[in-house]
Amino acid sequence: MPAVTGPVLRAAVLGHPVGHSLSPVLHAAAHETLGLRAEYTRRDVTEREWGAFWSAARASGGWSGFSVTMPLKPLAARDADETTPLVRALGAANTLTRRADGSVVAANTDVMGIMSALTVAGQVPGAPSAVVLGGGATAGAAVAALHGLGAPAVDVVVRSPERARSLHRVADAVGTTVRVRPWSQAAALLGTADVAVVTLPPRGADELAEQWDALRPSVGGVLLDVAYDPWPSRIAASWQRAGGAIAPGVDMLIFQAVDQVRWFVNGEPTAALPGEDHVTAAMCRAVQRPERGVPARVRGAQAALLAP
């Protein structure tokens, strides 16, 4: 382990609620492995409190970066001085980094987290048939991630078409196509998917899992459920029984945090951390997940997704 030297890296995870967040555990493991002096905490901030919190944080200048979770991701994107192409496409940021001149850049590492979690879980074809369940902010990141993995189009299954309206703008921005499908088609679409991402709240697909089980499906692809408690979720367990590979939301959390640490330490997302494989392995161990690195395929897709 490197000697613990240099200035203190001060960061926190922001959102409401954040008491359950594993981000402090992941970032602490990374900081220890890198030999950094660091303080990483949780700050429960509601949408109503955001304005006052952000003004005070900007004025203090005493922080290095923030991890941002819901419901603050759109506000973080709106109030940063600079935004990456992915943030502009998604309208949401999960990472805020303070530069040396005091300006703030907003980034989105959720897309890298989704691509990595899917790719390490199982075989994803070069041009996969792709399905997303749900139409919220995380669904936008899933659309971009599936495009990054080569999906020619993405079927988005929602209970209300209005929920997916913004996803057409996301698809246009990243260069793909979204097909909004009614919830009644969810089971049939899952049965033909090479890759699926569930972006619903915990237990939001329980009823669908029961319906899908009744069809006795057979699949060979990969499903990521971004919710990580309970795990496996009922829909993930159903997918696994049907022959597919599954990825928990905690894997997405690990891999998106790797790029957050890149932002906080390097000030940009493309340069690897010193000993990054060891850093990622430590983060995996910290939340009792198998030690795996970010796949080369994902790093290859990253350049295109981050291009202006």
Is the pLDDT assigned to residue 5 strictly greater than 80?
A: no
- Give the residue among 6, 30, 12, 18 at the shortest CA–CA distance from 283: 30
- Give the residue among 272, 273, 259 at the shortest CA–CA distance from 36: 273
Torsion of CA 188, 193, 197, 202, to 10 degrees: 40
Is the pLDDT assigned to residue 308 strictly greater than 80?
A: no
The residue to which tokens 């057409």 are assigned: 168
The whole-number pLDDT of residue 7 equals 64
Cα–Cα distance, 178 to 289 (Å, whole number): 32
Kindly name the residue from 10, 27, 31, 73 that is annotated as catalytic: 73
Cα–Cα distance, 155 to 103 (Å, whole number): 38
* Tens-place pLDDT, residues 52-90: 999 999 998 889 999 999 999 999 999 999 999 999 999
- Who's near 1: CB < 8 A, 6+ residues apart? 32, 33, 35
Cα–Cα distance, 106 to 84 (Å, whole number): 6
- Give the residue among 72, 202, 90 at the shortest CA–CA distance from 142: 90
* Tens-place pLDDT, residues 165-215: 889 999 999 999 999 999 999 999 999 999 999 999 999 999 999 999 998
The whole-number pLDDT of residue 158 equals 94
The whole-number pLDDT of residue 50 equals 98
- Contact assessment for residue 120 and residue 247, using Cβ atoms and an 8 Å cutoff: yes
Categorise residue 175: left if φ over 0, alpha if ψ from -120 to 50, beta otherwise. left
* Tens-place pLDDT, residues 271-281: 999 999 999 99
73 part of the active site:
yes
Burial environment of residue 265 by CB neighbours within 10 A (0 to 12, 13 to 18, 19 or more): buried
* Tens-place pLDDT, residues 23-62: 999 999 999 999 999 999 999 999 999 999 999 999 988 8
For range 280-293, the mean pLDDT: 96
